[in-house]
């Protein structure tokens, strides 16, 4: 079995190919279609940049080659590799193993097979289309402050800061055992009353410990969606210091004491600006990309006969 697929390298190799090589199609395509995969390529190690990092037969791979290949990756991937020598070594290992297998495949004539040549052509087309589109997208106009301000003015109702309540939240599970469930309900009612009276909960919590209840007590900000709808609908109109009765929902009891309220309000333009910029930029990218495709389809006199598809 080829070393490439042996168990002891499976994790590092598959991970690197999947997350750095395979998913970064442009990088692989460049490797396949460039001189990196020219098995006759030989370098003279005349400088530090030309220092040979790997050899496969007569083929040599230098630091300069490696730096160039890394430069094809997205900036985030480059940063990971440049910060972590171990990750860089794994990437180098994966590239060289990939190269060795490709050279072996060439020796056995795989590159002459019509199905392989056709798939390479598809990959070449994909790479050219991606690079062309990427360059054209650089001509996309930028979102202006006037665009943002106009969108805010027309769609102001989209930008609201919702009602939020800082609360003490007690959550108790209701078991199927009716006797135990009854004890928990009694303690829950007592907890609600104690919270209304600002009394200590210590004794009641000890009772829960005695009957082996895995309760939770948290101080946190609540808003619609952060608790079950039944709980939110009960407390949404509460005033500060209000305490709910035990609210049962989906096998749990909830007790809520409101400690602070932040009323719902409209965002200011400055608060909404980043959201609007992101939204408009996304819309513009999609529309501009589609415009590029539409223009090319027209220029290249393209016709697709969907009715003939079987």
pLDDT digit string, tens, across residues 261-270: 999 999 999 9
pLDDT at residue 193, as a whole number = 97
The pTM for the full model equals 0.62
pLDDT at 40 over 90: no
Residues 60, 86: one domain?
Answer: yes
Average pLDDT of the residues in 193-215: 94
Residues 129, 32: one domain?
Answer: yes
Residues 91, 215: one domain?
Answer: no
pLDDT at residue 127, as a whole number = 94
Q: What percent of the chain has pLDDT over 90?
A: 83
Of 83, 104, 137, which residue sits at a domain end? 137
Average pLDDT of the residues in 210-234: 95
Residues 249, 260: one domain?
Answer: yes
pLDDT at residue 29, as a whole number = 44
Residues 130, 212: one domain?
Answer: no
pLDDT at residue 73, as a whole number = 92
Residues 173, 96: one domain?
Answer: no
Residues 74, 113: one domain?
Answer: yes
Q: How confident is the model at residue 48 (pLDDT cuts 50, 70, 90)?
A: low
pLDDT at residue 162, as a whole number = 95
CB 249 within 8 A of CB 192: no
Residues 93, 222: one domain?
Answer: no
Residues 151, 271: one domain?
Answer: yes
Question: What's the rounded Cα separation, in Å, for the pair 62 and 162?
Answer: 57
pLDDT at 2 over 60: no
Q: Residue 126: which residues within 8 A CB-CB, separation 6 or more?
A: 25, 29
Q: 298 is in which domain, residue-wise?
A: 145-156+267-308
pLDDT at 15 over 70: no
Domain count, the chain: 3
Q: Count Cα atoms within 13 angstroms, Cβ side, for 294.
A: 6
| CATH number for 241 | 3.10.50.40
pLDDT at 309 over 60: yes
pLDDT at 39 over 90: no
Average pLDDT of the residues in 84-106: 94
pLDDT at residue 9, as a whole number = 36
Structure-token pair, residue 176? 């199927």
Q: Residue 166: which residues within 8 A CB-CB, separation 6 or more?
A: 219, 220, 221, 222, 258, 259, 260, 261, 262
Residues 70, 172: one domain?
Answer: no
């Amino acid at each position: 079995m080829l070393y490439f697929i042996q168990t002891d390298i499976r994790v590092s190799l598959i991970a690197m190919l999947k997350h750095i090589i395979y998913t970064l199609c442009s990088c692989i395509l460049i490797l396949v279609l460039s001189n990196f995969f020219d098995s006759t390529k030989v370098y003279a190690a005349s400088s530090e940049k030309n220092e040979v990092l790997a050899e496969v037969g007569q083929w040599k791979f230098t630091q300069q080659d490696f730096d160039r290949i890394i430069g094809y990756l997205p900036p985030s991937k480059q940063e990971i590799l440049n910060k972590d020598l171990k990750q860089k070594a794994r990437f180098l290992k994966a590239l060289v193993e990939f190269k060795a297998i490709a050279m072996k495949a060439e020796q056995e004539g795989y590159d002459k097979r019509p199905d392989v040549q056709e798939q390479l052509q598809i990959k070449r087309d994909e790479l050219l289309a991606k690079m062309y589109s990427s360059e054209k997208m650089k001509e996309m106009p930028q979102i202006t402050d006037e665009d943002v301000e106009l969108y805010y003015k027309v769609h102001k109702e989209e930008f609201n800061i919702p009602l939020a309540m800082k609360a003490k939240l007690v959550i108790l599970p209701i078991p199927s055992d009716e006797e135990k469930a009854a004890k928990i309900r009694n303690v829950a009612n007592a907890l609600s009353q104690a919270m209304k009276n600002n009394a200590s909960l210590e004794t009641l919590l000890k009772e829960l410990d005695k009957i082996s209840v895995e309760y939770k007590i948290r101080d946190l900000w609540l808003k619609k969606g952060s608790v079950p709808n039944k709980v939110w609908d009960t407390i949404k109109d509460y005033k500060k210091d209000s305490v709910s009765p035990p609210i049962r929902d989906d096998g749990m009891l909830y007790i809520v004491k409101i400690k602070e309220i932040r009323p719902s309000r409209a965002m200011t333009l400055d608060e909404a600006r980043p959201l609007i910029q992101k939204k408009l930029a996304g819309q513009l990218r999609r529309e501009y990309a589609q415009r590029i495709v539409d223009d090319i389809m027209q220029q290249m006199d393209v016709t697709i006969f969907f009715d003939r598809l079987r």
